Structure 1
């Protein structure tokens, strides 16, 4: 066998191996010349597109399979990422377009285009693609599930707030009034028994003090369930009250700056923002080890922005990503339900900053 025959045999074997490689993969693969015409196509690509290989060879692939967007609008060649690869020799990966079958139906694809370069010049391209119909369907189902879960969360939060209001009202009106009645009866009893023995008098004073403490506990519990100031005066006074109560209870210095007189928010949005604020302060007590908290409430770009910054140990990336950080997840969900957002940032030893933004309602000009 001569060297020429051996070289020809090697060339034929390489061509056979390349063909076997193209046909053994489940991905669609086709080649293009400089003008975008098909130079080769494997069986997987032909099967997905509904054409025979002969029907596509030497044909303009953009006009055949990539001519329109998912909504049917003409997809101009000048905007096509594959033809950008032919133009500048840079590879690209796309997963938000469709290919069109011979029968006129489309399917979502993920494709990568790679330039073919010979002697420093782009002479064509190779395109590898997958039918991602199942993936897109799964993504749509997942998105729908997330939306349903978010709606369920919103409903559960609404029901929980309604129950809190009801329980707080019952505690305040029923139990509070009953205890006030007991307090009055004790006072009358003490007036009617002015000359009782000192032990009896001391016992009555003790009972009276216990009733007073219980009345204060009832008021505190009712307020924790649903602060009256939030319903009667609105979000801004409620933020002021909660800040003062937090500082009095924990001894942590709070610096509050409010740069607006009123907030145009629905009751639902006001409640959500207030509950987020409460959760932030709870996290400061439980985790931050802070001595000072700076709180800012202001309007920015059509949204109400609450920023709380402490001088504690600082939240870590691990804590932010931890699945057990349900408080952070709850705050994020509350904000998202209202079209808002929340961000957490912090570094070890330099404190944590939480920034909440909720869109403000546009006032009516009627």
Structure 2
């Protein structure tokens, strides 16, 4: 214990005309004033709250006596250096309060020239940061646990950006791809993903729309050897608002791929992948439809009001001006009608409001009115109780077929039949157009027909197409009414 000086300090100074003690007592930080020997001459109420001591008890206690034993040596050395060079002492340390509770403090000690008497008093201003330290310790604990989990994972884990940069790779990823972490970070996603895999573009699109992706992709090692892997990837936002992506990669063994169990597992992955892809597309279509309705629809409505206002305000004008106004109004009406058509294509609310049969009739009626191609529809029974996925698939297949007929068939009529045979629903679409070569379609892998086939395959159904030059085309879709 240091021998205390008997010299007293008179706290008669003020800051900006306000007595020092008035400021100190209302300050939400612990404040004490000592002499260079460390004897305490003043403490505010908040310092008493932090230490658990009364003002009388604090003044009888050398402030360094409150310091936690593990911090005392360092702080005593800092205190001695401070007394010599008079530079502000910024530090954080632990104290033990009257109840024996350890608390973290952070703040500054400096010479207080504004209260200078015969000697310069020393002021300490400190905040209790125990909760911050506790939170930081917990965060560090979880960070280390998370790091150990990643470092010891058998799965390859990459921290990346949506544009393909790699920021970190765990040891399993380095072993899987035969590259160091520095090499993976330098080369990016292009060095691990096989860009010739046709599933890659769809996978990235699903992740962009939904925020995550789970499925299979073909990867590539440093040696150039390609392999199949299960991929789980998600997009998340960092503390600074920057977008990051995680990739968890698990290699699929050749044994598993060749085994019956592997085939079933792979089929389930493909089914899930295709459903996620279709759901992502439908969600995107719905979003676009909403934007068209809320944005462009309102803008065109406003334009009509402006034209009506302008027509009423211009008074007597030339006939050509009136004609132009009428033409502009008609053009807006046509544009609004086209927007409604686009919305109905993107988001078939009619399907969920009226049911499958009525929505197919509505689609054919609209097609006939637009193209003047005669349409016939037959349904037995008149109502179908199908689940949403199958109803949407049939609606979209007819939609795609009618689009192809309008663009390419040069047909005079279209016939659509919808039948229920036992536990199978069958839709047959035929036209009397000019037909086409199936070999050519297979060669160019028509997106429209490929999309129909994928939808039907995913739902456990069968897809058939036949086309004869100058005679027309027949599309037949069979779907099980029960889950397959």
> TM-score range with shorter-chain normalisation?
0.5 to 0.7
1:307 Cα offset (Å):
0.6
> In the aligned structure 2, how far is the partner of 1:206 from the partner of 1:253?
30
Q: Which residue of 2 aligns with 1:311?
A: 432
> In the aligned structure 2, how far is the partner of 1:270 from the partner of 1:333?
15
How big is the alpha-carbon RMSD for the aligned residues of Structure 1 and Structure 2? 2.9
> In the aligned structure 1, how far is the partner of 2:357 from the partner of 2:471?
28
> In the aligned structure 1, how far is the partner of 2:408 from the partner of 2:320?
47
Q: Which residue of 1 aligns with 2:463?
A: 342
> In the aligned structure 2, how far is the partner of 1:219 from the partner of 1:144?
43
More relative contact order, 1 or 2 (CA 8 Å, 6+ apart):
1
CA contact 1:263–1:360 (8 Å) conserved in 2: no
> In the aligned structure 2, how far is the partner of 1:354 from the partner of 1:288?
13
Q: Which residue of 2 aligns with 1:7?
A: none
Unaligned runs of 5+ in 1: 1-132
1:168 Cα offset (Å):
1.0
Q: Which residue of 1 aligns with 2:350?
A: 229
Compared CA separation, residues 231 and 170, structure 1 to 2 (3 A): farther
> In the aligned structure 1, how far is the partner of 2:444 from the partner of 2:322?
57
SS of the residue 2:384 aligns to: coil
1:212 Cα offset (Å):
2.2
Query: Which range moved further: 314-323 or 151-160?
Result: 314-323
> In the aligned structure 2, how far is the partner of 1:314 from the partner of 1:198?
50
- Does structure 1 residue 177 correspond to structure 2 residue 298? yes
SS of the residue 2:402 aligns to: helix
SS of the residue 2:375 aligns to: strand
Compared CA separation, residues 286 and 150, structure 1 to 2 (3 A): farther
Compared CA separation, residues 193 and 155, structure 1 to 2 (3 A): same
Q: What is the CA deviation profile of residues 318-344 of structure 1, one whole-angstrom value per residue up to 9, with x for unaligned ones?
A: 246436233222111111222222212
Say which of 269, 285, 291 aligns to 2:390: 269
Q: Which residue of 1 aligns with 2:20?
A: none
- Does structure 1 residue 247 correspond to structure 2 residue 368? yes
Q: Which 4+ runs in 1 deviate beyond 6 A?
A: 133-136
For normalisation by structure 2, the TM-score amounts to 0.43
Say which of 415, 419, 422 aligns to 1:298: 419
> In the aligned structure 2, how far is the partner of 1:270 from the partner of 1:137?
33
> How many residues matched?
230
- Does structure 1 residue 161 correspond to structure 2 residue 282? yes
Q: Which residue of 1 aligns with 2:475?
A: 354
> In the aligned structure 2, how far is the partner of 1:245 from the partner of 1:180?
23
> In the aligned structure 2, how far is the partner of 1:331 from the partner of 1:238?
18
Which protein has the larger Cα radius of gyration, Structure 1 or Structure 2? Answer: 2
Unaligned runs of 5+ in 2: 1-252
CA contact 1:150–1:333 (8 Å) conserved in 2: no
Q: Which residue of 2 aligns with 1:138?
A: 258
Q: Which residue of 2 aligns with 1:149?
A: 270
> In the aligned structure 1, how far is the partner of 2:482 from the partner of 2:338?
37
> In the aligned structure 2, how far is the partner of 1:214 from the partner of 1:247?
19
Compared CA separation, residues 154 and 323, structure 1 to 2 (3 A): farther
Query: Which range moved further: 324-333 or 343-352?
Result: 343-352
Say which of 320, 334, 340 aligns to 1:213: 334
> In the aligned structure 1, how far is the partner of 2:375 from the partner of 2:294?
32
Q: What is the CA deviation profile of residues 192-244 of structure 1, one whole-angstrom value per residue up to 9, with x for unaligned ones?
A: 44334545434433432332232223222222222332232122122112112
1:246 Cα offset (Å):
2.1
Matches within 5 A, 1:1-366: 137-138=257-258, 140=260, 141=262, 144-314=265-435, 316=437, 318-319=439-440, 321-322=442-443, 324-360=445-481
1:304 Cα offset (Å):
2.0
SS of the residue 1:174 aligns to: helix
